[in-house]
Chain A
């Protein structure tokens, strides 16, 4: 059995993977699965059997297009399940380095994609203010975002 109990967490969130009949509509509908090892049907099967899947690479190959969730004949919220399993993995310290880096941008700038010099030049050429009307321009607002991230202990979650 997986530890933590993935199946129970999914069931508690109203994601009924046990009703899966393994028809494969999800895998057949998956654009990522055409190019990667992501096999959605297998992921759901593992979740049903409550097998350990937190270290599975394909967990991170879902582009969250929601085709599988829209088309599932049993109405299983498959993308929600994948996102929930990712959450469990991250809280066990399992995350990809690129995603940790994006998270650290958020902690520092309040933007997952902060501004750069090339864009400032473009903004100037367009007659826009150098800094947009976001946390980039308002230090107090950025401080508020940082307070929220600390309050949620997001800083601890994504630290190196």
Chain B
């Protein structure tokens, strides 16, 4: 199996550390060889840095990739934004010798070199490719009797020219991994719609960004689910923290639990919501936590 280094990014270690813990617990259980990527920085965030200045984007991204190259490991991301930024940078640098050369001039100042010897992976794509739903299913100890609204998040599948993950309009690979845990991945309108956080919109145009996620949450509520599952901490922040902001600004209350896929998988692998940091979300839904307790006792 591919050897990996864990790229944490910003929002997971610095806002939702439960996802970091859940990832490590799942990897231990699945026997995945994944080391820490010590000294990594922001990917850098595509919304701001990539659109501000391409040389800066490539210099910071290539340093992160070079750290993993030194370990001879592929970079594993657990965030769609980090995946998009690092994987796109990796593609561009591998394909364009001039760009690689100019980027390495910057890296030379810190005695680093980008070689282009490793790949950038996303946890969902990695699990699907190297385990597959059937193998995951065999490892489940607590089949989850849950209705899940899956949110893929845009940058897991788009731009598709740089990803090889099938349909961008109606993908199924992530749904299959959800159903491997025993949960049902519920179909709902605008399932592939954006959460509204990316591109610097959440940071600079908060109210507009909340209107976008409010639309998605209202549809999910209508579908009647136990929780939302994503694989991106920025979508996670928008869907979880956004519910509290919507309550304050618009007076609408959803109270829908939001889980990163590693937290859902962790529940199915036998860990408690507390071990996985699900209780550290902004939205604390006692009904959901109670249901998890029942599933664990069965």
Total B residues in contact with A, Cβ cutoff 8 Å? 64
B13 touches A126 (CB 8 A): no
Contact segment of B122-130, B131-139, B206-214, B259-267: B206-214
* Contact A66/B159 with A115-B14, A132-B14 known, Cβ cut-off 8 Å: yes
Partner of B10, one of A82, A91, A99, A113: A113
Q: Does A111 count as interface, using CB distance less than 8 angstroms? A: yes
Q: Does A87 contact B (CB under 8 A)?
A: yes
Interface pair B39/A134, CB less than 8 Å apart: yes
Distance in angstroms between the alpha carbons of A114 and B230 in the assembled complex: 22
**Cβ of B42 and Cβ of A87 under 8 Å apart?**
no
Say yes or no: A63-B212 contact (C-beta < 8 A), given A112-B48, A148-B60, A152-B59: yes
Interface residues of A in 102-142 (CB under 8 A from B): 102-103, 106, 110-116, 119, 122-123, 125-128, 132-138, 140-142
> Are A90's CB and B203's CB within 8 A?
no
**CA–CA, A69 and B37, complex, Å:** 33
Residue of B18, B51, B106, B205 with highest tally of chain A CB at under 10 A: B51
Binds B, one of A20-28, A31-39, A46-54: A31-39
Task: Specify which chain A residues have a CB less than 8 angstroms from the CB of B40 in the assembled complex.
Answer: 133-135, 141
What is the CA–CA distance of A151 and B17 in the complex, to the nearest angstrom? 32
Known: A32-B196, A96-B200, A145-B63. A135 touches B10 (CB 8 A): no
Instruction: Report if A99-B21 is in contact (Cβ < 8 Å); known contacts: A90-B52, A149-B60.
Output: no
Spell out A's residues near B (CB within 8 Å).
31-32, 34-36, 60-67, 69-70, 77, 79, 82-83, 86-87, 90-91, 95-99, 102-103, 106, 110-116, 119, 122-123, 125-128, 132-138, 140-142, 144-145, 147-149, 151-152, 154, 157-158
Q: Which residues of B contact A (CB under 8 A)?
A: 8, 10-11, 13-15, 17-18, 20-21, 36-42, 44-56, 59-60, 63, 106-107, 109-110, 112, 154-155, 158-160, 168-169, 193-194, 196-201, 203-205, 208-209, 211-212, 215, 275, 277, 280
30 CB < 8 A contacts A-B: A32-B201, A35-B196, A60-B199, A60-B205, A62-B201, A63-B194, A64-B199, A65-B193, A70-B160, A82-B51, A98-B204, A99-B52, A102-B203, A103-B49, A112-B10, A114-B14, A122-B18, A126-B17, A128-B20, A132-B17, A140-B39, A141-B38, A141-B40, A141-B41, A142-B41, A144-B110, A148-B107, A148-B109, A151-B59, A157-B56
